[in-house]
Structure 1
Amino acid sequence: MISIVARNRAKSKYTVTLGSGASSQKGRPSENRSFRIDHDTIDQLNDISEKERVSVNVLANKALRRYVEYDVPGEKFGLVTISKALLKTLFALMTEEQARELGRKSGREAGPGFVTFWYKKFDLENTIKTIGKVTSEYGRNFSFDSSFDGKTHVLVMRHESGKNASAYYAESTRAIFALLGLDCRIEENEDQVTAYVDALPSSSLLPPLKPSTTIPKLPGLTGPQITKQNPTS
């Protein structure tokens, strides 16, 4: 439910009530909150609502969710926004091997910190969530689709930044899943990277177990030797 009430036109403000009471939106609990919003913002929301055929309530919730889930933490993390055209140009200035090495370095060194900054724990589920939610939906680096057949996660990243971008995303993705001990097989072309990630750890990628430490026994000894001495008289 959304209600817009014109108030204090001298200051060009609206009072907007967002929420749906005790009901929920897409399974999310919600409640009513009132905000004062400028006339021009409301006009733009109404225009977008008509063009996209969604309610102003949905648009406002989406904008607020992006602010709390991405804009605020992204600023703290140091993220910046650049255009796709500039990103494509930057990748084009690299060699393919430079792009791959940058991807490996990014996945190994920045990947775990990036995941835990948003979702507190570095694991398979949160890594996929970070790629889909933070990097794709909010960061808009690429479009993202995923599926799972009970054994293998299939992650599809479609971008428009050229083959060196594919090289970067391929190596970055491979590196970050390797840190989780997961086998990640990659297919790539000029505008798309597809990763196949097994749900179970690969023994070949897990760090070797430390050998157990045993205390060697001296020949002929089966246990601690105690020598009994008679007291001197």
Structure 2
Amino acid sequence: MKFGVVIFPGSNCDRDMLDALQYDLNQEVVPLWHKSEDISSFTTEDCIVLPGGFSYGDYLRCGAIARFSPVMKQVIAFANDGGKVYGVCNGFQILCESGLLPGALLRNERQQYICKNIYIKPGGFYREQLLEDAGRFQEVYKIPIAHGEGRYYADPETLAQLKANGQIIFRYCDEAGNETPESNPNGATDHIAGISNAQRNVFGMMPHPERACSAVLGNEDGKKILTSLLMAGQLVS
């Protein structure tokens, strides 16, 4: 499996993602500049990653300009053909702006930038097909967040579809797995921290698992997340 990590002007987590995939997960990784209009070397068995950061300075809305970057036309076609696409933080915002994922990321509830460790727990197909099949039922991960516009929102109809289709793959919680107001750092709808599309080949999350992949950093929960996704039919069931 090969990963392509897209680098936009303003990306600042691309190196974190490149290093985590290459050195912590031992995967083949290729950096992709945002002006690239050819990703034909990637097959539907591979994965394109949109990393975190402040693409194009986050002008207008987070991810709104990056959605029109030359490479995104190819990424959208790649996803529509069944290729795997994964967005983290700003990458999640870009996926929502591009229509590859439903809903939107709004300003944090208290209008403040948040940078700290939080806890998330798996749900939807991630829990059912990745963890329960392996006999791992109560996983809770400590993962860093760093965002000012991470409050996931979806209208009631979309939210109902996400729940019915098992597309809500991560929710904010406390260390014991409880969903409380205090454990929802940005006020996200239904504590949502990450979702997938209905076809389960595109997904995004606000927390940064690539920042929690090394024992040197004192946290390998992010490595557990990325490894579990790799084991599940290369990001999908």
Name the TM-score class by shorter chain: under 0.3
Larger radius of gyration: 1
Higher fraction of helix: 1
Higher relative contact order (CA 8 A, sep 6+): 2
TM-score by length of structure 1 reads 0.25
